[in-house]
Amino acid sequence: MLYMKTKIVTPKEVVAHRPFFVEQQKDVARTTAYAYCTLPRFVWFFSSLAGFFAILAVAQAQDLEPRAYANTPVGLNFLIVGYSYSQGGLSTDPSIPLQNAKLQTNSSVFAYARSLDVFGLSGKFDVIQPTSWLAGSATLAGQSVDRTTSGFGDPRFRFSVNLYGAPALSLDEFKDYQQDIIIGASVQVTAPGGEYTPSKLVNIGSNRWSVKPELGISKRFGDLTLELSADATFYTDNNEFLGTHTRSQDPIYALQSHIIYSLPYGIWAALDGTFYAGGDTTIDGKKSNDMQENTRIGATLALPLSRNYSTKLYWSTGVVTRFGTSFDTVGILFQYRFGGGI
């Protein structure tokens, strides 16, 4: 359900104080048709508001994930269920009259992963299906804009392989393994399978494909492990943005680092950080000038519950935000592992 009561104005009309009011709950069809035919005049408005609600996609794309390239005995299966809560504001281009932007997101995730023997190298395959409930609000030209929506997010598929320092080992062989340096690579593909309604500006799904190749390195010093990874996310066009318009996005480039400390009984903790930049968008070939350049930090704590069960707690927050998101996230994951001789 979308309730919107807002005053939509062009830059010239802001100066001249000639507001245009939309009462969507009274005439949804007429409002949608008007948005379609007048998009070129309001590109600045639509692209900025889309950036406001893009926090969900960014949060998913910029997960802080320690131990992504750790060695794991082959043949293990992992079932994962999790929940996270995010809230915060948004830093937008000050030339656009969008103020007091706030967003709350409750998300769940269901995932399956399996460790693999890839020609003698250890690898892993993941399938991830998120679900989200999103509520956001902002102030545009003195009027309130609200949006509440929920549904499945875009499914993600990832294949990773450790190219050096982490051979494929059975559970028995793994007992004698000691990590030194691991170099790994992965590729993640996100499919356009999430909730998406072309007539709506805000959706859970993105209605496009993305591909994210990544290269990572991990070095262990006793109980301390240092990790660094670099990735780039490439996007196809959304050809159904507000119906028939085309929304494109430049690649987002990211660096991620982790300091991990191993504790007794399989417990470990990590300090996490990431920096990402890029992602300038265009609508029907018109630049939106919304390139991101953001830094986030976080922390992770992993606790084994039994031989088969474990849990992970995590938190992250925005530190430096040029454009896009400045929000806090807390979450918990539960994992069940089976197979591989356990």
| Contact between 275 and 255 (Cβ < 8 Å) | yes
Q: DSSP code of 39?
A: G
Instruction: Choose the weakest-confidence range: 85-94, 151-160, 194-203, 209-218.
Output: 85-94
Give the residue with greater pLDDT, 336 vs 148: 336
Q: Where does the pLDDT of residue 322 fall: very low under 50, low under 70, confident under 90, or very high at 90 and above?
A: low
Q: Where does the pLDDT of residue 90 fall: very low under 50, low under 70, confident under 90, or very high at 90 and above?
A: very low
Q: Where does the pLDDT of residue 34 fall: very low under 50, low under 70, confident under 90, or very high at 90 and above?
A: very low
Question: How far, in Å, CA of 305 to CA of 207, rounded?
Answer: 39
User: Residue 45 has what pLDDT?
Assistant: 44
CA angle 315, 319, 321 (to 5 degrees): 120
Question: How far, in Å, CA of 254 to CA of 59, rounded?
Answer: 13
Ordered by start, the domain boundaries in the chain are 5-338
- Tokens found for residue 206: 């993105």
What's the CATH number for 5-338? 2.40.128.130
Question: How far, in Å, CA of 28 to CA of 75, rounded?
Answer: 53
Give the residue with greater pLDDT, 106 vs 145: 106
